[in-house]
Structure 1
Amino acid sequence: MASDLLDAISALEKDKGISKEVLIDALEAALISAYKRNFNQAQNVRVDINEASGSIKVFARKDVVDEVVDPRLQISLEQAKEINSQYDLDDVVEIEVTPKNFGRIAAQTAKQVVTQRVREAERGVIYSEFIDREDDIMTGIVQRIDHRFIYVDLGRVEALLPASEQMPNEQYHPHDRIKVYITKVENTTKGPSVMVSRTHPGLLKRLFELEVPEIYDGTVEIKSIAREAGDRSKIAVYAEDPEVDPVGSCVGQKGSRVQAIVTELKGEKIDIVRWSEDPVEYVANSLSPSKVVKVLVNEEEKATTVVVPDYQLSLAIGKKGQNARLAAKLTGWKIDIKSESEAGDILLDQEEIEENIDENVEEKHDESMTDVRDDIVNNEHESESESRSFELEELDEKNE
């Protein structure tokens, strides 16, 4: 029986990925519990499992004392020395107390406890594996659907896809293969709980990392993402190397890279724009595909007024304000969009301000140049007077 038990432990180690040491510890604890329960023994005992032979032995542990009060837990010094003359006071003596039929009873009693320990150890292994996959993407298979969750099989665990994290333009069916973004992993009393999402912006980021090698290796960096799942998204990208086109890298040849992501997201439109430190350029880029005439920036309120051609106004705002809303979310700037005809006065005021600034700069430049010329003339006059006075002094000296 013991050898069969050890074979079973070895099989569990391979199948479940749980170390043999953990299983042996669980088995020893279960056998101690079984011994005390079946043989009405309250003494302190230890179970020894010999992995080589498969034998199981039970040892009672007793403290060496002068006067024995509880014989189940204590042994006199004289009795201890009869066992081994080296024992002294406060030592612990181990005496084998293995019952004859202990193997059968222990196996029956320990089965439930061992199963529970194995389950706990397996949960710990699964939790350790998936906690490292948090904020990552995985491919799963839809198992079943109810009014609260879609249950997605991720291999060793069944993840939960809540209704709020499901894309409105998708229909899910059992056995569908889908990519999901792991948002949260918790260790509960019922085992690891894994929550996933199809609407999280992180899903879009991970999909681009899978499809675009330049993003994966860091040549192109994703600076910001704004997403309305199932409908439209905007992503701002940047490359430190001026020879690398970040937008072209993400689009791919004939749009192959971005099209693969659009297909995975069931037709969700994706605008890829170039990120810039200059808010004027960044905000103008973020309103793609509309054209922008001018961007006026209010640094204090972190707000911008964007002027677009009259015929591009509806495109810039987007359906139900979606394009402007996503652009504001992407850039972090408030965006007020106006057509050229609406913004006529604003543009004139801005031009006057710019002209005044230019005039002031020119006036200051002219003044400074006049001052420089005056200084040169004065220096010349001073040098001439000095030379004349020097000549007069020379004449006076000759006359004398």
Structure 2
Amino acid sequence: MATKDKGFLEALKEVGKEKGIAPEVLFDAVEAALVSAYKRNFNTASNVRVYLERATGDFHVYAQKKVVEKVENKVMEISLDQAKKINDNYELDDVIELEVTPANFGRIAAQTAKQVVVQRIREAERGIIYEEYSNRSSDILTGIVQRMEGHNVFIDLGKTEAVLTPSEQISTEKYKHNDRIKVYVVEVKRTSKGPQILVSRTHPGLLKRLFELEVPEIQDGTVEIKSVAREPGMRSKIAVYSADENIDPVGSCVGQKGLRVQAVVDELRGEKIDIVKWNEDPAKYIANSLSPAKVVSVAINEEKKMSRVIVPDYQLSLAIGKEGQNARLAAKLTGWKIDIKSESQAKEEGADADELNMNMVDVVCDDSFSVD
């Protein structure tokens, strides 16, 4: 028995096309839901299968029964003798299907299908969005501030929303409705309400990605970002390197008249940025990391990853930075513990490199750039 509903079939295909969902996904969803609808409306515990003909829109309901020697459950089982009457090829433990489509099943099917299609479309859309954004972790996205709920900021990404939690917000930034901002994707979670995209404005990865967007030499691999250190909203340091001696990695990131770095600073709403040259020599790298301060010498203990830096007296406060910020960022950037002394302090204390079990090296800092 069949119930024809070709109009429904066309509507189903059209909805799938509009939403970018494969028709087969919707067909399967409708069939699964109609099994429950059949059992509920016809008060049966039978094992049934519902099939929706893809070409005509006809619905068919099939009762499934297992072939047994002795029937103990008439709803779920059929005897071998009865099965043989239907088809002589049936054997024990086979599952046979008998069409049991009710005369008024089309009406029930249509009502159920509408509900299921809406639900499954929503689920499928969520799945599509999840798949689209699950691969964007550690990437950068541009969105529009949609609303604030409590301390959370919700960013409209077009197809879905992202959540900027308080811990990922820059304390000095104020987020206003319709502000366009770039965010770093920290994590994409699959939840019962759809994908949850957690983003950040404080993550070091945001700074790295912003430079990748602005600097073609980073995009093509000519210039490499070796390390990033941030105190979000305040100051950042980025160490860059190029294996090509003809390429100036610092200059590439700065850009003509500072346009490239300024674009990053503008996006971070005035966050100060130091761009330093990475060096495989730890002493030179440490000296570079303290930019904009100039360094006289660096003593290092590679085993303990400790260093002692000597700077001119007039450079001491610059090297340490306000509330120790410059030294703190340099240590984070290099991964070395850095002790900074002025020339006068070093003479007064009288401790030399041998006593500290360090190798003292006079250094000349490479070119660096600071946006103040």
Q: CA 1:242 to 1:346, structure 2 compared with 1: closer, same or farther past 3 Å?
A: farther
Tell me, yes or no, if structure 1 residue 132 matches structure 2 residue 167.
no
Q: Per the alignment, in what secondary structure is the counterpart of residue 345 of structure 2? A: coil
2:132 counterpart letter in structure 1: E
Q: CA 1:349 to 1:64, structure 2 compared with 1: closer, same or farther past 3 Å?
A: closer
Q: Which moved more, 1:118-127 or 1:237-246?
A: 118-127
Once the two structures are superposed, what CA deviation does each residue of 1:4-62 show, in whole Å capped at 9, x if it has no partner? 33223323322333222222111111111111110112222111111111111111222
Tell me, yes or no, if structure 1 residue 28 matches structure 2 residue 31.
yes
Tell me, yes or no, if structure 1 residue 210 matches structure 2 residue 221.
no
Q: Which is greater in Rg?
A: 1
Aligned length: 354
Distance 1:147 1:352 in 2: 56
2:203 counterpart letter in structure 1: H
Q: Which residue does the alignment assign to 1:61?
A: 64
Q: Per the alignment, in what secondary structure is the counterpart of residue 341 of structure 1? A: helix
Cα deviation for residue 213 of structure 1 reads 1.0
Q: Per the alignment, in what secondary structure is the counterpart of residue 196 of structure 2? A: strand
1:12 counterpart letter in structure 2: V
1:178 counterpart letter in structure 2: I
Structure 2: state its 5+ residue gaps: 361-372
Once the two structures are superposed, what CA deviation does each residue of 1:167-225 show, in whole Å capped at 9, x if it has no partner? 12322111111100010111122221111000100000001111111111111111110
Correspondences of 1:124-203 after superposition (within 5 Å): 124-203=127-206
Q: CA 1:105 to 1:34, structure 2 compared with 1: closer, same or farther past 3 Å?
A: same
Residue 264 of structure 2, aligned match among 261, 265, 290: 261
The answer to which structure, 1 or 2, has the higher relative contact order (CA under 8 A, 6+ apart) is 2
Distance 2:254 2:68 in 1: 83
Distance 1:162 1:265 in 2: 17
Distance 1:92 1:141 in 2: 56
Cα deviation for residue 302 of structure 1 reads 1.8
Correspondences of 1:263-342 after superposition (within 5 Å): 263-342=266-345
Please provide the CA RMSD for this pair: 2.3
Distance 1:63 1:215 in 2: 65
Q: Per the alignment, in what secondary structure is the counterpart of residue 45 of structure 2? A: coil
1:298 counterpart letter in structure 2: N
Cα deviation for residue 113 of structure 1 reads 3.8
Q: Per the alignment, in what secondary structure is the counterpart of residue 62 of structure 2? A: strand
Distance 2:355 2:67 in 1: 102
Q: CA 1:45 to 1:89, structure 2 compared with 1: closer, same or farther past 3 Å?
A: same
Q: Which residue does the alignment assign to 2:109?
A: 106
Of Structure 1 and Structure 2, the greater helix share is in: 1
Structure 1: state its 5+ residue gaps: 358-400
- 4+ residue runs of structure 1 moved beyond 6 angstroms? none
Q: Per the alignment, in what secondary structure is the counterpart of residue 330 of structure 2? A: helix
Distance 1:190 1:338 in 2: 56
Q: Which residue does the alignment assign to 2:241?
A: 238
Tell me the TM-score normalized by structure 1.
Answer: 0.83
Cα deviation for residue 90 of structure 1 reads 3.7
2:137 counterpart letter in structure 1: E
Residue 2 of structure 1, aligned match among 2, 5, 10: 5
Distance 2:197 2:146 in 1: 15
Cα deviation for residue 296 of structure 1 reads 1.8
Distance 2:351 2:60 in 1: 97
Q: Per the alignment, in what secondary structure is the counterpart of residue 46 of structure 2? A: coil
Contact 2:171 2:233 in 1 (8 A): yes
Identity of aligned residues (%): 65
Tell me the TM-score normalized by structure 2.
Answer: 0.88
Contact 1:34 1:110 in 2 (8 A): no
Contact 1:50 1:56 in 2 (8 A): yes
Q: Which residue does the alignment assign to 1:91?
A: 94
